[in-house]
Amino acid sequence: MTGATFLADLPRFVFFTGKGGVGKTSLACATAVRLAADGKRVLLASTDPASNVGQVFGVTIGNTIVPVPDVPGLFALEIDPQLAAEAYRAQAIDPVRDLLPAEEVAAMTEQLSGACTTEIASFSEFTSLLADDSLTAAYDHVLFDTAPTGHTIRLLRLPGEWTAYLSDGKGDVSCLGPVAGLDRLRHDYAGALDALTDPSRTRLVIVTRPQRSSLAEAARTYDELLELGMSDAHLVVNGRLPHDVGPDPLAAALEERERAALPDMAPRLRELPRTTIPLLPVNTVGVPALLALLDAAALAGGEQPAGEATVPRDFIGLRALVDDIEADGPGLVMCMGKGGVGKTTIAAAIALELAQRGHDVLLTTTDPAAHLAETVRADVERLTVSRIDPAEAITEYRERVMAGKGRSLDEAGRAVLAEDLKSPCTDEVAVFQQFSHVVFQSRRKFVVLDTAPTGHTLLLLDATGSYHREITRQMSEGARFTTPLMRLQDPHQTKVVLVTLPETTPVLEAEELQDDLARAGITPYAWVVNASLAAARPGSAFLRARAAAEHDSLARVAELCPRVAVVPLLASEPVGAAALSALTQQPARPRPSASLSDAGV
Q: Show me where the domains of the chain are located.
A: 5-291, 318-391+427-583
Burial of 470 (0-12, 13-18, 19+ CB in 10 A): middle
Task: Evaluate if residue 579 carries a pLDDT over 50.
Answer: yes
Which range, 190-204, 363-377, 454-468, is most confident? 190-204
342 is catalytic: no
b/e map 13-44, b = 16+ CB within 10 Å: bbbbbbbbbbbbbbbbbbbbbbbbbeeeebbb
User: Could you name the CATH architecture of 5-291?
Assistant: 3-Layer(aba) Sandwich (3.40)
Task: Evaluate if residue 512 carries a pLDDT over 60.
Answer: yes
pLDDT reported for residue 184: 55
Task: Evaluate if residue 161 carries a pLDDT over 70.
Answer: no
pLDDT reported for residue 172: 47
pLDDT digits (tens, 9 = 90+) for 192-248: 778 878 889 989 899 999 988 889 888 988 888 888 788 889 999 999 988 777 778
Could you give phi then psi for residue 245, rounded to 5 degrees? -85, 0
CA-CA distances (angstroms) from residue 113 to 47, 85, 110, 512? 20, 8, 5, 21
What is the rounded end-to-end Cα distance, in angstroms, of the chain?
A: 36
pLDDT reported for residue 436: 77
Which one is catalytic: 19, 48, 221, 342?
Answer: 48
Domains 5-291 and 318-391+427-583 share a fold: yes
DSSP state at residue 445: S
Report the C-alpha gap between 498 and 563 in whole angstroms: 11
CA-CA distances (angstroms) from residue 516 to 152, 462, 493, 509, 512? 21, 11, 20, 11, 6
Which one is catalytic: 23, 177, 317, 455?
Answer: 23
422 is catalytic: no
According to CATH, the superfamily of the domain at 318-391+427-583 is P-loop containing nucleotide triphosphate hydrolases (3.40.50.300)
Quickly state the pLDDT bin for 517 (edges 50, 70, 90).
confident
How much is the average pLDDT of 41-47? 91
pLDDT reported for residue 9: 92
Quickly state the pLDDT bin for 299 (edges 50, 70, 90).
low
CA-CA distances (angstroms) from residue 156 to 234, 251, 350, 451, 518? 17, 38, 33, 21, 30
Beta bridge partners of 215: none
Task: Evaluate if residue 455 carries a pLDDT over 50.
Answer: no
172 is catalytic: no
DSSP state at residue 5: G
Which one is catalytic: 17, 25, 51, 375?
Answer: 25
Which one is catalytic: 17, 19, 24, 177?
Answer: 24
Interstrand relation of 42-46 and 202-208 (parallel, antiparallel or unpaired): unpaired
Report the C-alpha gap between 533 and 38 in whole angstroms: 36
Average confidence score pLDDT of the chain: 79
How much is the average pLDDT of 525-547? 91
pLDDT digits (tens, 9 = 90+) for 93-139: 888 788 878 877 777 776 666 555 666 676 677 777 887 788 889 99
Which one is catalytic: 17, 26, 345, 504?
Answer: 26
Contact 50, 152 (CB under 8 A): no
Quickly state the pLDDT bin for 468 (edges 50, 70, 90).
very low
48 is catalytic: yes
Task: Evaluate if residue 341 carries a pLDDT over 70.
Answer: yes
Q: Which residues contact 490 (CB under 8 A, 6 or more apart)?
A: none
Report the C-alpha gap between 196 and 493 in whole angstroms: 44
Task: Evaluate if residue 306 carries a pLDDT over 90.
Answer: no
Which one is catalytic: 21, 114, 177, 406?
Answer: 21
26 is catalytic: yes
Q: What is the pTM of this model?
A: 0.71
24 is catalytic: yes
Residue 42: which H helix or E strand, with range? strand 42-46
38 is catalytic: no
How much is the average pLDDT of 496-512? 88
